[in-house]
């Protein structure tokens, strides 16, 4: 106990799969330039809706999610989580036989299709002989790298048993998980940025009342481009009363 006589509580850690959702979203958001990162309140709301979408009966409160977001954002970036380039081999070598697979994936990231970190390349080097297709190798490297990072920041053992079983029984599991995450992030951006005041200070606190309907857009199961076009048409705009509520708050 401290001088005040109050016992400090243990750091809040949620269920592993919830922590994984939060950390992966923060991890993806932190990879963007500072000016393009999602406001904390908006990100908390996005994550809460994503958890609900995945069938959670009672997701964490927004205030709890905001605290976890702040926690993950406060973690210093490790060398392993920086973007990979050929120069990375000087400090982080990989087997020469793994280079063709790595370069195939690296070529796609240079063309703008995602990002490749040093940590992910280390996992590609471990998995390329176990998994045949380069795209699947990348997806699984993403999954293992994410779990490894999460175990480090939460100080929990790095137990890959669940991923190992999925790898053996359902080779496309990592691909599905990655696409779900990337699709949810993209549609949240569409739903929010269509509102004219998206970049106005204070908009983040009112995000849930404005913009396009995220749940309806997710259910369309269309490509991101098609989803954005439909959202622009106004067909899935949120209820008028929500818009009136936002305008009332805006005038305060």
Q: What long-range pairs does 33-38 form, CB within 8 A, spacing at least 24? A: none
Q: State residue 215's pLDDT score.
A: 67
Write the pLDDT tens digit of every residue in 78-99: 777 788 999 999 999 999 999 9
Q: Report whether 119 contacts 137 (CB < 8 A).
A: no
pTM: 0.62
Write the pLDDT tens digit of every residue in 135-147: 899 999 999 998 8
**What percent of the chain is predicted at pLDDT more than 70?**
74
- Can you tell me the distance from the alpha carbon of 243 to that of 185, in angstroms, rounded to the nearest whole number? 23
Regarding predicted confidence, which is higher, 25 or 248? 25
Q: List residues bridging with 83 in a β-sheet.
A: 117
Domain spans in the chain, listed from the N-terminal domain onward: 13-75, 79-159, 174-252
Average pLDDT, the chain: 77
**Residue 200 pLDDT > 60, yes or no?**
no
Regarding predicted confidence, which is higher, 114 or 201? 114
Q: Report whether 138 contacts 124 (CB < 8 A).
A: yes
């Amino acid at each position: 106990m401290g001088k005040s006589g109050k016992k400090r509580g243990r750091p809040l850690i949620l269920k592993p799969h919830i922590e994984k959702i939060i950390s992966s979203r923060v991890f993806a958001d932190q990879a963007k330039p500072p000016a393009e990162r999602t406001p904390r309140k908006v990100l908390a709301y996005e994550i809460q809706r994503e958890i609900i979408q995945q069938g959670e009966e009672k997701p964490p409160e927004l205030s709890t999610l905001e605290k976890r977001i702040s926690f993950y954002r406060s973690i210093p970036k490790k060398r392993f989580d920086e973007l990979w380039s050929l120069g990375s081999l000087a400090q982080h070598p990989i087997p020469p036989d793994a280079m063709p697979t790595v370069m195939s994936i690296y070529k796609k990231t240079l063309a703008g299709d995602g990002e490749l970190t040093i940590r992910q390349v280390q996992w590609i080097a471990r998995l390329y002989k176990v998994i045949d297709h380069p795209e699947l190798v990348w997806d699984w490297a993403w999954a293992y790298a994410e779990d490894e990072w999460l175990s480090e920041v939460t100080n929990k053992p790095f137990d890959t048993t669940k991923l190992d079983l999925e790898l053996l029984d359902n080779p496309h599991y990592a691909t599905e998980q990655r696409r779900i995450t990337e699709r949810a992030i993209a549609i949240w951006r569409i739903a929010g940025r269509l509102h004219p005041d998206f970049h106005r200070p204070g908009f983040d606190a009112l995000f849930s009342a404005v913009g396009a309907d995220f749940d309806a857009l997710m259910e369309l199961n269309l490509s991101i481009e098609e989803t954005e076009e439909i959202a622009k048409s106004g067909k899935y705009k949120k209820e008028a009363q929500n818009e009136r509520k936002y305008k009332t708050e805006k005038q305060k």
